[in-house]
Amino acid sequence: MEFNNFAYLLVLLGTVATPLFFGFNKKLHFFSNFKYLLPAMLFSGAIFIILDLRFTERAVWSFNPEYLIGKNLLNLPVEEWLYFLAVPLLGTFIYEFIKQRFYNFERPNLFLAVSLVLLLVFGVAGYLSKQKVYSFFIFFLLTIYLGYTIFRSRFKEHYTKFYLSYFILLIPFIAISGTLTALPIIEYNPQFNLGIRIYSIPIENFASLFFLQLMNITIYEYLKERRIY
């Protein structure tokens, strides 16, 4: 096995390094809420794995074996499974860090308005990309979940911290996804996406990250607030 076979795994290790190193800070209390975070990550990750399996079968994207350790689970590289734990872990860490450091900064009405605009944008994007499988499903499912989040009205108090966490998460995400697509570890079939890229990253990936972060944080906050267990 060559060193480059560990490329995807090393990207994932870099992704979780910050939350693992700083997550035990007593002021942050990040891992004290892990019993709420784990089911949120597992549920959101399961949704994305189901989509991932289907898209891989349809050759929407493919994985370059030169950058993988060669272990698969249900026809997906084990690294891809770990991705949907690593990114939510980092995203939630950023979210909790912002909650602590910017406790008094709240703009719920502003970000509610932003959410309504994005709901329209995602809905239109889904409609216009009906012939592009990856684009359509990401924008369509995101529109449904964002609409549910908005009109259920229980997440409004968290909008500010959620959006700030997403904007900050974009910085490591561009490094992570940029590496995955530039090497390339993951190769996207242009037949199934809009063909619009930022750096080497399909624009759909930014919507996918928004969807993953939103689903993970809404479930996480729901479990925390109700303290079911």
Q: What is the pTM of this model?
A: 0.95
Q: Is the pLDDT of residue 117 over 80?
A: yes
Give the residue among 185, 63, 58, 163 at the shortest CA–CA distance from 108. 163
Q: What is the pLDDT of residues 134-159, one digit of tens each?
A: 999 999 999 999 999 999 878 989 99
Q: Where are the domains of the chain?
A: 3-226
Among the listed residues 40, 43, 47, the one whose alpha carbon sits nearest the alpha carbon of residue 217: 40
Which pLDDT score is estimated for 228?
67
Chain segment 25-67, per-residue pLDDT in tens: 666 677 788 899 999 999 999 999 999 999 999 999 999 999 9
Average pLDDT rounded to a whole number, residues 72-95: 95
Q: What is the mean pLDDT of residues 150-172?
A: 93
User: How far from chain centre, in Å, is Cα 216?
Assistant: 8
For residue 72, give the DSSP letter. Answer: E
Residue 110: is its pLDDT beyond 70? yes
Helix (H) / strand (E) element for 201: namely: strand 201-202
Query: Worst-scoring range by mean pLDDT, 13-27, 97-111, 171-185?
Result: 13-27
